[in-house]
Amino acid sequence: MEHKKTYNAKELKTPYGTLIIEGPITGEAIKSHEFHEDLVAFRTPNQQHKALIEIADLPEGRIIIAREHNTIVGYVTYLYPDPLERWSEGKIDNLIELGAIEVIPKFRGSRVGKNLLLVSMMDEWMENYLIITTEYYWHWDLKGTGLNVWEYRKVMEKMMSAGGLEWFATDDPEISSHPANCLMARIGKGVNQDTIERFDRLRFMNRFMY
């Protein structure tokens, strides 16, 4: 499938200053920005900075960032699912995954995550994708936020809904391993019935044959 990327940007005023939310941006642009040392949820900041540069330059890869002047303080990534995950098994060329979303502690509670998703969906080409995200409680910063798993899940669901993602049932063992884990998805207006049916088969792969 063809992958088109249309850049969009907006200003977000927060109690700690104004941020620019923009993207999808190129690997070169990410390289030119500083990467905040508090972006540590998935890898060391240095490693994650490199990972974002690589994702941005993939044909389907999209990175939307939040930056304070020249420093990246938040981001969201979109790319094809990991080849080792069930979501890649259907080889659905218009299924992409919201793989990571992270905002530094200073700007949490300032609607940065919500606005990263809103800017993501400003690109009309996103209507051609079936976008999924898998939420696992062990990735959540429960300690830093002081929330319990259910409170955090509620916050995550509310934020994801800003981007049009909804809860979907699945029998995926990793998601089913804890009731707070969940699968969310957004089915774009341009997604056909065949893609939806193939996604449904991926969601429930452990059903007995009737």
* HSE-up (13 A, CA, CB side) for residue 75: 32
Beta bridge partners of 78: 62, 98
For the chain, the domains span: 8-203
Map residue 23 onto helix, strand or coil: strand
What's the CATH superfamily of 8-203?
A: Gcn5-related N-acetyltransferase (GNAT) (3.40.630.30)
Residue 143: enclosing H or E segment and its boundaries?
Answer: helix 142-145
Map residue 19 onto helix, strand or coil: strand
Q: Tokens 């200053």 map to which residue?
A: 17
Q: What is the mean pLDDT of the chain?
A: 95
Which amino acid makes up residue 73?
V
Kindly tell me if the per-residue pLDDT of 139 is higher than 90.
no
Question: Alpha helices of the chain — where are they, by DSSP H?
Answer: 27-32, 45-56, 112-120, 142-145, 149-162, 173-176, 193-203
**pLDDT at position 209:** 42
Instruction: Read off the pLDDT of each residue in 99-128 and give the average, rounded to a whole number.
Output: 96
In the structure, how many helices (H) and strands (E) does the chain have? 7, 9
Instruction: Read off the pLDDT of each residue in 26-39 and give the average, rounded to a whole number.
Output: 98
**pLDDT at position 208:** 52
**pLDDT at position 210:** 40
- The rounded distance, in Å, linking the Cα atoms of 154 and 84 is 28
Kindly tell me if the per-residue pLDDT of 144 is higher than 90.
no
Task: Write the pLDDT tens digit of every residue in 172-197.
Answer: 999 999 999 999 999 999 999 999 99
Instruction: Read off the pLDDT of each residue in 60-85 and give the average, rounded to a whole number.
Output: 97
Task: Write the pLDDT tens digit of every residue in 108-122.
Answer: 999 999 999 999 999
Angle at 92 between CA 57 and CA 25, to 5 degrees: 20
Does 209 or 63 have the greater pLDDT score? Answer: 63
- The rounded distance, in Å, linking the Cα atoms of 122 and 156 is 20
Beta bridge partners of 152: none
Residue 152: enclosing H or E segment and its boundaries?
Answer: helix 149-162
